[in-house]
Amino acid sequence: MRHTTSREGGFVTLVVLFTVFLVAALSFSLLEHGVSEMRSVKTYGSDLLAFELAEIGIARAEMELVGNVDHDGNGIGNVSGTTENGGVYDVTVSKVAGTDRWVLTSVGTTGHVTRRVECGVKLSAGFRFKHAIFAKDRLDINSSVQTDSFDSRLGTYASQITAEDDLGWYADPTGHIGSNAEIDIWSSVIVRGDAQCGPGESTSLHGGSCQVYGSTSAQSAPFDVPDPTLAEFEEALANNNNHEVTAQAGGDITYNANRMSLRVDGSATLTLSGGTYFFSNFEMDSSTRLIVQAPTKIYVTRNLLLTSSARVNNPGPAQDLQFIAHPYNLTPNWKAPTKSIELNSSMMGGFTLYAPGRDIYNDSSYILFGAIVGRTITLDSSIFVHYDRALGDGDGSTAVTLERVYWRDLNPPTR
């Protein structure tokens, strides 16, 4: 039996110690690498959260620009906020002089990590109502139809009445009418404002009892009256507040949710809290009332009937209620409309009607505080349109669109 010498024992001890040291060094290295990776993951997570905060700020700023609303009193498009976990976003906006473009700079911060992004956007204003009545094609008005204007921001229409003529008292003589084609004006019509036809067309006054207070010359260029887009209607179909109508249905309020068809009858009152609504048919009859509690857009694809002493957002301002009508076939079992929009029989309302793809034929008395746009328009018999000048200054326009022109990361992460 061989005995281990002290020299051999020392060598073994040295090998064991070296191995232990090597394992310990490797373990420490692995631990340090793991800690570093954890720190890196944590930093990356904070960086991503800061980036998301900056993007939230951009989205909120864009909403203010499109809505032309300053929610927090620091200027439209300038927004800031704090999330539940302590993250902060702050956005400043600047307009590019002489253009319809804006630059949004957003800073998102969580802990000690900050991300900055910049976004350039372009705003395209929707149609602005510049006339009491405007026809994309022919305009024909007859028998005691009259126009004037007032400004709802200054008070009620009655408080702004200043003068009297053959058809009675009126407010301001800027109730313009217009067409991109010809205009025919007949018996006892008074247009208290301009009556301008399309380029190369004519405005014709038939009989000595009709009057135009302003210009009857042709426009130098057609007035741009774009059809509302299919995308806008599809969005209204997909996201709307029609559930409020469903909740009120019954009795004299009949609503078919499958066809999205509404009829209000028998002196019933329909109340809408505001926002977007979509209908194939929208009918109000027999002394019914429509009350809107906040700015409201109602999209209609088939029939729009407001008749028989209906009170439609009366006496509310026109910019609080917009009817947007176009014959898109978006609801099941319903075809595109075959008859015109009808407003008649002592209806009274405060709203705008934008229907450049629809014919409008009204043959019975009503009073409108607002504005009408249609394809061809025929008005007959004691109709009074009080144009609200607040519409021409931007309130109550059709949809404003926002387009992102560019986006860039001002301090991209480094790893």
pLDDT at 63: 85
Q: Could you report the per-residue pLDDT of 261-311, keeping only the tens digit for each?
A: 999 999 999 999 999 999 999 999 989 999 999 999 999 999 999 999 999
Instruction: Give the per-residue pLDDT at 395.
Output: 43
Give me the mean pLDDT over the 353-381 stretch. 93
Confidence category of residue 396, pLDDT binned at 50, 70, 90: very low
Q: What is the pLDDT of residues 187-218, one digit of tens each?
A: 999 999 999 999 999 999 998 899 999 999 99
**Mean pLDDT (whole number) for 171-187:** 96
Per-residue pLDDT at 334 exceeds 70: no
Q: Which of 410, 408, 403 is nearest to 125 (CA)?
A: 403
Distance CA 397, CA 322 (A): 8
pLDDT at 106 (0 to 100): 96
Q: Does the pLDDT value for residue 38 go beyond 60?
A: no
Lowest mean pLDDT among 2-6, 25-29, 258-262: 2-6
Indicate whether 6 pLDDT > 80: no
Name the more confident of 59 and 99.
Answer: 59
Please give the structure tokens belonging to residue 96.
């590019």
Q: In this prediction, what percent of the chain has a pLDDT beyond 90?
A: 62
Residues 6+ apart with CB under 8 A from 174: 148, 149, 192, 193, 214, 387, 389
Q: What is the pLDDT of residue 33?
A: 54
Cα atoms found within 13 Å of the Cα of residue 31, Cβ hemisphere only: 6
Average pLDDT, the chain: 87
User: Where in the chain is CATH 3.30.1300.30?
Assistant: 1-125+400-415
What phi, psi does 81 have (nearest 5°)?
Answer: -170, 165
Is the pLDDT higher at 331 or at 249? 249
User: Hey, what CATH class is 1-125+400-415 in?
Assistant: alpha beta
pLDDT score recorded for residue 177: 97
